Chains A and B, each alone.
Chain A
């Protein structure tokens, strides 16, 4: 095993151990029903383990994690349905700050991200450009109807168009905004945020609009790939729990799993799981390529994984029978998380359309 692989293996082992000891279904349920939409203790623990610094450089205690290194963490985020803003804050937000922020901004903000005292929420990078906020003289104008983890965020990271129509990224102190907090269907927290005239700090002082757009596009891709990994974690959980259930649940004097009709549907779920895993891995590896070269695989993976994961969710509920729709079992919770994941970071249809466009453009007239 190479040093990288060894580190990856250690990381994923520690993540799995922690979450199975401290974040099992019952503990998560308590967070879900609690007043806050996340576990403060868990967030502190994540900070202590260094997960919140993963994407940062080694000088800051990070691991310089790329999407492949983040893979195991994101799979656990899905598998255990973690409620905390790992993707929003520790991946997307932290990445934008470290890529676009000035030295002073980084010195000021990054340590607070690493120690967990500040959580970021990011306006969804999949938001259509027309709906972006506008900025002038370091004040933002506009509203965002749904900011994931906006209810618990300390700062917002906001792409917006400045007075010249150039894209820049701003940081806003959350308490300055008018927030309406709510829970999403899967229990994660969110807020609709009114940025009307709030003071905003632009990230960096000399980033051109083109540079910022390029960074946003890269980070959006990284976020999509991370979300694919999260979804893979969910699909694996659903396939395992459904197969296990078919082995113990008896009807008509035999276990459900002895029925060929169900065996074949289970086989179809397994095939999807393998495809989701393979596409996630391919999408991760594609991050080493230039953006134009990886766009097809990333949008394709997102569309295929999003759709087929929903099918797995439907099948898992159906094969569990009545208990599949109850609160007391993970199945219905995974099912709901898949609904949210299908909307984040650009709709599945948007990614499918993008994939089709790129595919038809690139492969016409082969040989």
Chain B
């Protein structure tokens, strides 16, 4: 076997141990507990969490060393996300460290790097992602928000949607249309950084069935954005967006999340005597079998990434399998809870108070179930992922 992979394995193994240690001794028990129970976490919770990761130098360890990272290999990166998720840790908010940060260090100007990167490393700015629009979801290239040059400014008009945690954001990275009617479609998308404090930026919450505020509409009305906030070259935004999507699709967290959810299901089934029930037992066995297949495919994809033998379908495969399995597990967990799974008290989920009946994490199971109905929709719906496999891998 290749020595690079061998040594990466050793480092990943050590990292795994460090993360388990960290969860035991450095993670505030209350935060970990609320996260495991799928309680609603506040901005302060997340800032505390991201701060803890940064204190360990983990938050941006996948970045190149010259920008404050540790040049983590794909395997260490996978292990990091996978382990945290397995242990039920809070979501590692990706918009700064995982999405826009790499775009800035790869395509940004020296001034942009100096201005934004240290603040991302230190979690001083909260970023949000302005990609989807009402008319451009899976078909992102159909976006219509415009940015018209006016001297040293772009004047931006349009509407973004499904913008996660925009209500907390300091900055929005945003895909916009630039150029005039002569500009070819593929050369008319640009990548802009927008200060959320600008006049003309309005955030409106979207109510979702999971009952808490995580997605928003962002309205942009004559927002004046300085030209120096353009990343790279005007009209080349699609290239940067594709680079970002590639980073978005690293798979560790989704695999670990399924593991965590499966353990939760087993606990629920055990508490309700459902493991004696051969149907539930078989169902859990099926999930475990599918998880094993997912886990092996994921490990081997990471190694393929490292020795350059990817075939291009790996990310889609893992996205489809993990999200679909997660949903089945979440559904089964709600069923295993029986009546105790039915009360849904969003207040309690914010305050961590006891539900009227059942175990103290029952309502969190429902919230998680509802939220993850979107897992097969966001980040490229399952149907889009199957299109990608059919076209890019199978040549259909």
On A, residues with C-beta under 8 Å from B are: 2, 243, 246-247, 257-258, 260, 262-264, 266-268, 270-271, 274-275, 277-279, 281-282, 297, 300-301, 303-304, 352, 355-356, 359-360, 363-367
Are the CB atoms of A304 and B285 closer together than 8 Å?
Answer: no
Are the CB atoms of A366 and B296 closer together than 8 Å?
Answer: no
Are the CB atoms of B313 and A274 closer together than 8 Å?
Answer: yes
Are the CB atoms of A356 and B281 closer together than 8 Å?
Answer: yes
**Residues 79-100 (chain B) with a chain A CB within 8 angstroms:** 86-88
On B, residues with C-beta under 8 Å from A are: 1, 86-88, 263, 266-267, 270, 275, 281-282, 284-285, 288-290, 292-294, 296-297, 299-300, 313-314, 317, 320-321, 383, 385-387, 389-391, 393-396
Please give, as numbers and ranges, the residues of chain B lying within 8 Å of A297 by CB-CB distance.
292
Shortest Cβ gap from A123 to chain B (Å) = 28
Please give, as numbers and ranges, the residues of chain B lying within 8 Å of A365 by CB-CB distance.
267
Are the CB atoms of A304 and B293 closer together than 8 Å?
Answer: yes
Please give, as numbers and ranges, the residues of chain A lying within 8 Å of B288 by CB-CB distance.
300, 355-356, 359, 363
Nearest residue, chain B, Cβ from A4: B1
| Bound form: Cα–Cα A243–B390 in Å | 9
Nearest residue, chain B, Cβ from A240: B394
**Interface class of chain B by DSSP:** helix
Q: 9 tightest CB-CB pairs across the interface, nearest first?
A: A356-B285, A263-B390, A267-B389, A257-B396, A278-B296, A267-B386, A275-B293, A264-B386, A278-B297
Are the CB atoms of B282 and A356 closer together than 8 Å?
Answer: yes
| Bound form: Cα–Cα A66–B393 in Å | 32
Please give, as numbers and ranges, the residues of chain A lying within 8 Å of B395 by CB-CB distance.
243, 247
Are the CB atoms of B320 and A271 closer together than 8 Å?
Answer: yes
Please give, as numbers and ranges, the residues of chain B lying within 8 Å of A301 by CB-CB distance.
292
8 residue pairs A–B, Cβ–Cβ below 8 Å:
A263-B387, A267-B389, A270-B389, A270-B394, A303-B289, A355-B288, A359-B288, A360-B266
Shortest Cβ gap from A272 to chain B (Å) = 9
| Bound form: Cα–Cα A314–B257 in Å | 32
| Bound form: Cα–Cα A109–B391 in Å | 53
| Bound form: Cα–Cα A301–B314 in Å | 20
Are the CB atoms of B285 and A279 closer together than 8 Å?
Answer: no
A264-B383, A364-B270 given; A270·B289 CB < 8 A: no
| Bound form: Cα–Cα A356–B280 in Å | 11
Are the CB atoms of B296 and A258 closer together than 8 Å?
Answer: no
Are the CB atoms of A364 and B266 closer together than 8 Å?
Answer: yes
Are the CB atoms of A367 and B281 closer together than 8 Å?
Answer: no
Are the CB atoms of B292 and A279 closer together than 8 Å?
Answer: yes
